[in-house]
Structure 1
């Protein structure tokens, strides 16, 4: 499967990637392909998974792989993407458009993002890969702030994407700020009370 994915990625991107066999914090292993910025026409650091998830439905294999393009690469981003892909694999559920992979910790050292949102790109950037007895689909993983993940609890994922589009948020920009329409999360006892009262509605 690794070789088939490498060939598919190379055809889609146009250049050969570097394969990393990553050890995560939990001791599990995950394959990640990387294209450093400047090695492709995209102008970003690109990461793709190799083994994020395989599922069976109606006798056919449905595999899902993930990718992320960001303006700053490095070991911290590589490890964060790897950990996220492993979390998806171990969740036991089929990842799909709009799913959040989020927590209460900062996923990239030095950044305020605490999770990812998975989405189908409308431009067919990474086309489906057909296999004997199944296929592989590819989802774009976008870093999100805790406030964006919290916003999602009472709204559809597409509502967040609409805000991003309206405010011209560059989802690949790790230096981006929180969209103006999403209120910063309060901290301390005042924030706790506000969230608790809000949850009682």
Structure 2
């Protein structure tokens, strides 16, 4: 049983399309300064060499601030940069194989959109769940929608941290947190804003309210 403890209260997932002409590394650092507690590097359509270089750069920042770096999907990249963990979806590398290859001391998160998926992930030793999409989102258009009622049921049914994802922003964040979950995962609510530090701080203040 993995015993990795994670603070996933404000979990940033990257999407460079949100940044327009702003720098990814600078934006991530600003977001961490504003209160982000975890960072997931998500690159679905770049060559492996480019993903690796991005991961090296992001790891330098997250290590400096002692914030966990999670790599989305790509076990090889996670191993290559000694990332703190890996996040897998339902169609990615199976959790049991990921745990076997990463070992017991790395963080592994799993996407879930049903209670059955959530319970299985917990049984198979996931460290946290990413549940969504709670609201419609342009950053992941193929994600199934999850109601607030189901989100609350999943949280009550598992003992590992539950993070909500999908269209979460300052106007609906407290509604989501009212379900009792452990944190929110955001993309555009931070990275699409001109001041990533301020955007993160505003979200963190709402979470802590």
The two structures have a TM-score, normalised by structure 1, of 0.29
Tell me which of the two structures has the higher relative contact order, counting C-alpha pairs closer than 8 angstroms and 6 or more residues apart: 2
Higher-strand-fraction structure:
1
Could you state the TM-score of these two structures normalised by the residue count of structure 2? 0.28
